[in-house]
Chain A
Amino acid sequence: MALIRDIAQICKSKNAGPFNITIDVLFEDHALYHRVKATGVLSAPLFARLYGVSVMDVLFTPYDTAAAFKATFPRRIPAGDFGDTDVYGAQQHAPLLDIDIPLD
C-alpha cells in the first residue's frame, strides 16, 4: 500500500477557468505510473466521492506520455463569487494526498 503523498512527484489543484477545478497527479517514474494506473484507484468515481460531485461531471484523463492523471470538475462556487474560499483554486488537492494505492 502507498499513499499518493509518498509516491507522486506532483499533486496540485488549479482553476481551469472560473467554473472548474482541475487536479493533477504526476509521476517521475513511468513504470510506477503504469502500476498506479493499473490499480484503477485513480478514477472519475474517486474524485466524485472525494469532492461530492456527480461522476458524470468529472472529466478524468490519464496522460501516459506525461505519466500524469488529470481530473476536472465543477467548482463548488465560481471563482471569486460570494462564499468562495480559493480564488485560484490552488489548495483543493489535499484530500487526494491521503489516497492509498494498493501497490504490491
Chain B
Amino acid sequence: MQEYRMLSTSGILGYGYAEDSLKIGMSWEPHVIGCDGGSTDPGPYYLGAGKSFTSRLSVKRDLRLMLLAAMAARIPCIIGTSGGAGGEPHLRDTAALVREIAREERLSFKMALIHAEQPKRDLLSWIEKGLTKPLSRMKPLEAAMVHNAERIVGMMGPEPFMKALDEGAQVILAGRSSDPAQWAAPAIRAGMAPAPSWYAGKMLECGAEPTVPKEPDCIFLRVRDDHVICEPPNPIRRSTPLAVANFALHENSSPIHHVEPGGLLDTSACNFIPVSDRAVKIDGMTWTPADQYTIKLEGVEKAGYRAIAICGTRDPVLIGQIDSYLETHRTKVAAKAQSFGVPPEDYSLNVHCYGRDGVMGGWEPERAITSHELGFVIEVLGKTQDIANAVLAMARTSMLHADFPGRLCKEGNMAFPFSPSDIEMGAMYRFSVFHTVAVDDPCAMFPIEYEKV
C-alpha cells in the first residue's frame, strides 16, 4: 500500500468538532475514522467512580456523526479508552450509547467490545510470578495494593484492535488503551511500517492539537513508507512545523523516546517539513521492538470523602496577616472538631488561597501578596462523608468569624458567593497502581466480545 489515511475527529470523544471538518475529512477518503475517548489526565476520580469526565449528550453528538460517516463510507470506526478511563462501567456506558444511536439512525453493524479492566486474581498471580514492575516512584506492587484498589485497568497496545479488525468488526470500542495504539493498529495491519504508523497515532490521539489556531477539531494523517503528512480538514486551521513539533512533546517525559507497549518510538532524528501552508511532513522516526512486551497497569484507591466551600476576603487588614490567620483557623478547627468527637487523624484540612499560592502551592516562588482581594477554597478530606461535612461546616464558620488583630469587620471576615456554601464532593480517589506487567500474548489481558448491533 502506498498510503494509509486516518481521520481523528477530536482530542477526546465528547470535546466536540466542526461538522464541516468531518465532511471535508471524509471527502479525503480515510481508511479508518476514530477518536480517543479518555486519559488519566483529569485525575483519579473517574477511574475510581466508574464515571466519564465528558457528558453523555456531547459524546452522543460526536459519536452519532462519526457512526453515520463510517457506515456511509464502509470504513471502521474505532474508539480508544471508552468512557474516559476505560474500565468496565465506562465501556458498558459507551456501548449502550452506540446501541441507542444505532436504533435511532437504523444502523446495523458488527461491534467489538475490548475489555481492559483486570480481575484481582490475575493481578495477584502476576505479583506471585514476579511479572510486575513499578513505574515512576511507585513501590513494587503488593497484594495489599491490589486488594485496596477500587479498579485496575491494563493499557492495551495495537494487537487487540488488529484482532477485532481481523474478525470483521466495523465499530470497535476499547477499554483503556495506549492513545496511539488504536491508530497504529489499522495502519500496521494494512502493511505500513511501524515507525510512521505509531508516529501518526501520536499525531491523531489529540485531534487538531498539532494545528493553529488550537481548538478541539479533526485532524487527518497520511501514513507513507517512511513519513507521515499531517493536515487539518478545517480550512481555518493550519499544521505548521512549530505546531507539529510542539505537539510531539505533548504529555511525554522525553521528547525523543516514546515508550509504547511492545516497543520504543524514537523521534530524535525527525524533521518537520512544511509541504503546503497548512500541511507538514514528518520523517526520520524509528521503531525498535522491545525484548519483552509489557502492559501498563493503572489503578486507584479510595482516599476518603471530600467536602469543599468557596469564599473570599476584600479586607486589607486581614490580607496583611493571612498566614497567621490561616494558622489560627487550623488550630481552632482542630479543637472544635475534637470537641464534637472527630480526632485529627480522621480528617485533613487544606485552605487553597487564590491570590497568594492557589495555583502553584509549595512551588510558588513569589511570596509577596499584591492583590486587593484573596479567594479561598476550603477543602476537607474525611474518613466518612459525615466527618468531612461536619469538619467543613466548622471550618467554614471559623473562616467567617475567627478573630484577628486590628479587626474592624465585626460581622464577618469572608464573602461567600453561594447558599448552600458547603459542597459535598463524595468519594476521593488517588492513583495507587502505576506498574507494568510482562506478557507473552499482547491480547490475553483484553478479551473481545462481538455483537451484532
Contact = CB atoms under 8 A, between A and B. Distances in A.
A in complex with B: yes
B242 A26 contact: yes
B245 A22 contact: no
Nearest to A86: B359
Given A65-B269, A79-B40, 11 more contacts: A17-B40, A17-B136, A18-B431, A19-B138, A20-B253, A68-B245, A80-B429, A85-B357, A85-B358, A86-B360, A91-B360
Contacts of A102: none
Contacts of B248: 63, 66
B254 A81 contact: no
Contacts of A66: 245-246, 248-249, 255, 270, 272
A81 B431 contact: yes
A88 B352 contact: no
B365 interface: yes
B363 A76 contact: yes
B143 interface: no
B352 A19 contact: no
Given A19-B431, A83-B350, A72 B303 contact: no
Nearest to B298: A18
Contact of A88 (B42, B303, B381): B42
24 contacts: A15-B41, A16-B252, A17-B40, A17-B434, A18-B136, A19-B137, A19-B138, A19-B431, A24-B255, A26-B246, A50-B365, A63-B256, A66-B245, A70-B254, A74-B137, A80-B42, A80-B431, A83-B350, A83-B361, A85-B359, A88-B41, A92-B360, A92-B363, A95-B365
A46 interface: no
A90 to B, nearest CB: 10
B201 interface: no
B243 to A, nearest CB: 9
Contact of A9 (B242, B253, B361, B431): B242
Interface string A58-99: 010101011110101010111111111111100110110000
A16 B251 contact: yes
Nearest first, the 5 A-B pairs at minimum CB distance are A80-B43, A66-B245, A19-B136, A63-B255, A72-B253
B120 interface: no
B60 interface: no
A100 interface: no
B254 A61 contact: yes
Interface residues of A, number: 43
B41 A10 contact: no
Contacts of B431: 18-19, 78-81
Interface in A1-55: 9-10, 14-20, 22, 24, 26, 28, 50-52
Contacts of B360: 85-86, 91-92, 94
A88 B41 CA distance: 6
Given A78-B431, A85-B359, A67 B245 contact: yes
Contacts of B137: 19, 74
Nearest to A79: B43
Contact of B256 (A14, A61, A91, A94): A61
A80 B432 CA distance: 12
A99 B353 CA distance: 25
Contact of A87 (B43, B303, B379): B43
B358 A22 contact: no
A83 B379 CA distance: 9
A102 B41 CA distance: 36
Contacts of A94: 359-360
A83 to B, nearest CB: 5
A18 B434 contact: yes
A32 to B, nearest CB: 13
Which among B42, B245, B269 has the highest number of chain A CB atoms within 10 Å? B245
Given A24-B249, A28-B242, A76 B434 contact: no
A70 B400 CA distance: 44
Contacts of A9: 242
Given A24-B246, A91-B360, A82 B42 contact: no
A80 B246 contact: no
Contacts of B252: 16, 22
Contacts of A81: 44, 303, 430-431
Nearest to B381: A82
